Amino acid sequence: DIDFRWGGDPNIVLAVEALVASIPIQLKDLQVFTIIRVIFQLADEIPCISAVVVALLAEPKPRIDYTLKAVGGSLTALPGISDMIDDTVTSIVTDMLQWPHRIVVPLGGIPVDT
């Protein structure tokens, strides 16, 4: 298990639609803090590792920080939008990567157990 800290500045624009307005919202300054499990699948052939498997642990919950910026509008036009986006981003990340879900990165062309 590894203490994982990642930060980046992706260019992500979310289209948020509500009854009263449609506002494009930019997600910036993304940072992720969590504990990840890294598993090396061993093989009989050199380089002796067929894949690296990465997954999030159930506890502690990942901390995901970011900045939201309305593109051509105001975030105050849609009350509760920040909480809704926070819940959505967290659920997407955990649904994709929380154990038993995982990312498998094959190495060296050796067959991999998925």
User: Per the structure, how many domains does the chain have?
Assistant: 1
**64 exposure class (CB count in 10 Å sphere: 0-12, 13-18, 19+):** middle
Whether residue 53 is contained in a domain is answered as yes
Whether residue 111 is contained in a domain is answered as no
What is the pTM (predicted TM-score) of this model?
A: 0.63
Confidence of residue 110 (pLDDT cuts 50, 70, 90): low
Whether residue 44 is contained in a domain is answered as yes
The pLDDT, as a whole number, for residue 114 is: 60
The pLDDT, as a whole number, for residue 71 is: 77
CA distance 94 to 41: 23
Could you list the residue range(s) of the whole structural domain that residue 56 is in?
Answer: 2-106
Closest CA to 65 of 110, 29, 11, 35: 29
Beta 12-17 vs 2-8: how paired, if at all? unpaired
Confidence of residue 98 (pLDDT cuts 50, 70, 90): confident
3-state secondary structure of 96: helix
The pLDDT, as a whole number, for residue 62 is: 83
